[in-house]
Amino acid sequence: MKRAVAFVALLLGTTACVGPFASGPSGGLMYQVPTPPTLTYVTGDTSNIDISSPMGSMRMRGTSTATLAMSFERSADGLQVTTTFQELNARLTQPMGGAVTADADDLEGPLVFTMDDRGHSTVVSVPEMNGQAGQMANPHAIAYQFFPILPGGAPKAGASWTDTIHYEAEVGPGETNSTTIMTYTLQGDTVVDGLTLLKINMTGNADVTAFAVTEGMEVTQIFSGDVSGYALWDPARSVYVGGYNEADMSGTVEVPAAGMPPMPLTLSSKGHVKLQGS
């Protein structure tokens, strides 16, 4: 049962994330190759997971930090992004066993994906994941959810746009199907650390279904809930310099071999990303 519970860690990366974006030559918000073409971001996330089981309430806490070097180049689809995990420290504590951990040594090779000028992505290749990385890392979530979907035009303050982010992926020892409907609103100028930046607010709803076989047991989670956050953009450099996201979700986890009914679960998470050196 403890490894089945630990599988919930696979879901921590399925909530909304934010990432770098730039203004095109026409002034529209769209993706392009930044200068320099490689940007390095530092991320941090915390999550609390509560499961109500016949044995009582179980709480797990997940934490992770990562340093991601992202290199951009032109491709037939718009841009190709090659992401290297320079650092990764992920940890999940659980009441039914020891902590589950993973680091950058558990990942071999980069994450490569393409995206169009609005941010719709397609995975080209993912790192080979060893040890516990299959449970603790979700490269597909970075490819599909790290970057917000942009309008492509030149919106004014108060303008909003809505898009759907959907992906199906094999993640470690299981499969994940994630759909997020997100609304973005350009709030306007804000000052952070003396810099005048643009702020884009994000609100939406996520639906996730995940399946895995761990230690010979089938495990299924189905949950949904609210996601929100914001992205900060530096118009002087045309790059994303920071962002924040959070999620409050609920659902069930089912382990048929355990002979128990579906167990209610709740998940709350908070995360941030910052351009290194900004």
When computed from its CA atoms, the radius of gyration of the chain, rounded to whole angstroms, is: 19
Provide the whole-model pTM.
0.86
> Residue 60 has which token pair?
């797990």
- Quote the pLDDT of residue 21: 42
Instruction: Give the structural domain span for 28.
Output: 2-275
Q: What's residue 27's pLDDT?
A: 54
**Element containing residue 27 per DSSP (H, E):** none
Smallest CA-to-CA distance from 125 within 143, 102, 137 is with 143
> What is the SS3 assignment for 103-118?
EHHHEECCEEEEECCC
The per-residue pLDDT for 135 is 67
| Distances from the Cα of 254 to the Cα of 48, 87, 192, 206, angstroms | 19, 33, 45, 19
- What is the CATH number for 42? 2.30.230
User: Distance between CA 156 and CA 63 in Å, rounded?
Assistant: 37
pLDDT score of 173: 67
Residue 181, burial from CB neighbour count under 10 angstroms (0-12, 13-18, 19+): middle
Q: How many domains does the chain have?
A: 1
Rounded to whole angstroms, how far apart are CA atoms 41 and 277? 9
Report the 10 Å Cβ neighbour count for 186.
18
- Say how many C-beta atoms besides its own lie within 10 A of residue 95's C-beta: 13
With b for 16 or more beta-carbon neighbours within 10 A and e for fewer, the 100-136 pattern comes to bbbbbebbeebbbbbbbbbbbbebbebbebeebbbbb
What is the token pair recorded at 33?
């190759």
Q: Which amino acid is at 181?
A: I
Q: What is the mean pLDDT of each run of 10 residues along the chain (278 residues)?
A: 39 42 54 91 95 86 95 94 96 82 93 94 93 78 90 88 93 84 95 89 96 80 96 80 94 86 94 89
Q: Please classify residue 142 by burial: count the beta carbons closer than 10 Å to its beta carbon, then call 0-12 exposed, 13-18 middle and 19+ buried.
A: buried
**Contact status, residue 117 vs residue 78, Cβ threshold 8 Å:** yes
